[in-house]
Chain A
C-alpha cells in the first residue's frame, strides 16, 4: 500500500493526541488551571491536527461532512462520529479543569472511553480489509491501542507506568510483524485463485494491461520501500520503545522526558510508514507483484 504522508501523519499524531486525552480524562496527571490548559492544547493540537491532515488525502475535502452519514456500516463514518464526540466531551471536561478547577469525573471517563474508541475505530478501518491480509488480523487494533496508550502516558508524564506500556507496545509491534509476514500466504489468495487458472499447471503474469503504471499500482502495489524494511524495523523499535524506556529509567529531567517523547514520535511514524509500505494488497497478484 502506498504510504501517503498525510495518512501516516494523521494516524501517528492523532493516536498520540487521543492517547493523551484518554489519560487526561481518567485524571492523569491531576491538573487544573494553566497547567491543564497546556496539556489540553497539546492534546487537541495533535488530535485535531491529525484529523485535518487526514482530509488532505481526500479527493473532495469540501464534502467531508458527508462522511458522518453511514455509521451503521462504515468504520470510517464511525471514526468521524467517535472523534467528534471525544473532542466535544473532552472540551467540556477540560473547561471544567481549566476555568473552574473542577473535575467532572463521569464526563472525564466518558471522554476517555470516546478517545480510546476513536483510536479503535481508526484501527478497524484497516483491520476490516480482507484484501490486505497483513492488516486483517486481531493484532492490528491491539497495535493501534497499545501505541495510543503508551504514547499518551508518555505525554501525560506518567513516568512509572509509561515504560511498561512502551515495552508492551514494542512487543505487540514485534508480534504484528511476525504474524503479518506470513499473512498473505495464510490468506489462501494467490494468482491461481485470483484467475481461476491454477488447475492446468503453473501460472505467471505474462503481460500487464498497460505498459505504464495506473491508479491501482500506484495506490495499492507499493514495492519500492521494502528494500530497507528490516533495518527500518530495528530503527522503529529502538526509537518507539527501547530508547524512551531507557531515557525514562534515568533520573527524571524534563529534557530527557522531551527526548523520550520525540524519540517515540519518530519511532511511531517509522512504524506507521512500514505498516503501509509492507502491506500487500491482493490486487498486486493480478499484476504479478506483491
Chain B
C-alpha cells in the first residue's frame, strides 16, 4: 500500500550531531556490513578492486566547507541516509506498493519481492537516500536496522541501528520523535535540530544538530606572547649577503 498513513504511532529516527561528527566513515562501513548480510538483498559492489569501483551504500558521508564572514573556514562532515519522512514522496510514486511507511513506527521500507526496479522512488527522493542495487536490481534504502532494533537475540545495548552503535564520537542518536521526552526529541529541542530541505515538503523525521560556533582567540592572547614574537626581523651574516646579492640580480 503506497498511500501514506495519516499518522504513525511512533516516529523512529536519528539525530545526527554535525558538531561532533569527525568524518571517520565508520557508520558507512558498519551500515554496509550489517545490511549486506541481514535484511534483504546484499549491498553489492561493482569492480571493487578494479579501475572504476562503485557500490551500493545506504549511508554516505559528505564534507562541506563553511567560510564565515570572519575567521577560519570550518570543515563539516555530513552523514546522510534516509530521513524517514512523514510525507515521503518515494512511497506515493511507487506503482507496485513495494515502498511503504510502517504505521507502528514510521520506518520507510521496501518489500524487495514486489520491487520492479523502475527507479522512480530514487527520482522522487530529494536526499539521494535510495540506491538501486546493480546486482539485485531492486531498490535499497536505510531500514533503520529494523532487524536489530526489535531483535531480542541481541544484547539490549545492540538494539540500535548499526551506525549509531558504532559511532566512536557519539554523533548519532536513535529514538522516538513522537515522544517529546525522548532522548532525540530533547536533544533536537535543546540544540536547534534542523530538517533538511524543508521547502520540499517531505517532513523529514531525522534531525541534524548544527555545529556550535568555534572559540575565538581574543585580543589579549597571553602575557608571554611578546616573548614568542619572531626574534630575527632582518637576516644577518651569510643570509644577509645572499639576500642583498639576490636583490641586486
Contact = CB atoms under 8 A, between A and B. Distances in A.
Interface of A: 1, 57-61, 63-64, 66-70, 72-77, 80, 125, 128-132, 187-189, 191, 193-197, 199-210, 212-216, 219-220, 281-283, 286-287
A137 to B, nearest CB: 16
B40 interface: no
Contact of B54 (A205, A214, A281, A287): A214
B180 interface: no
Interface stretch (B159-167, B190-198, B216-224): B190-198
Given A131-B124, A189-B200, A215-B132, A207 B63 contact: yes
Contacts of A286: 62, 80, 127-128
Contact of B66 (A1, A66, A203, A213): A203
Contacts of A70: 1-2, 94-97
A1 B124 CA distance: 12
A194 B115 CA distance: 28
B123 A220 contact: yes
Interface stretch (B68-76, B148-156, B169-177, B232-240): B68-76
Contacts, number: 191
A196 B63 CA distance: 13
B122 to A, nearest CB: 7
A283 B62 contact: no
- Which of B52, B118, B210 has the most chain A CB atoms closer than 10 A to its own CB? B118
Given A194-B126, A215-B56, 12 more contacts: A59-B115, A70-B2, A196-B208, A202-B66, A204-B64, A204-B65, A205-B63, A207-B62, A207-B63, A209-B62, A214-B57, A220-B122
B63 A206 contact: yes
B53 A212 contact: yes
12 contacts: A58-B116, A59-B118, A63-B96, A66-B97, A70-B96, A129-B89, A193-B199, A196-B210, A197-B66, A205-B62, A219-B122, A283-B126
A59 B116 contact: yes
A73 B56 contact: no
A80 B54 contact: no
A281 B55 CA distance: 21
A63 B117 CA distance: 9
Nearest to B123: A129
B92 A73 contact: yes
Given A70-B2, A220-B128, A208 B62 contact: yes
Nearest to A63: B116
Main secondary structure of the interface of B (DSSP, over half): loop
Nearest to B208: A196
Given A60-B115, A216-B122, A197 B64 contact: yes
A77 to B, nearest CB: 4
Interface in B91-112: 92-98
B67 interface: yes
Given A58-B116, A131-B89, A283-B127, A66 B96 contact: yes
A50 B198 CA distance: 37
Contacts of A196: 194-196, 208, 210
A210 B69 CA distance: 30
B119 interface: yes
B179 interface: no
Contacts of B68: 200-201
B3 interface: yes
A73 B3 contact: yes
B64 to A, nearest CB: 6
A189 B197 contact: yes
A67 B117 CA distance: 11
B17 interface: no
Contacts of A214: 54-55, 57, 60, 131
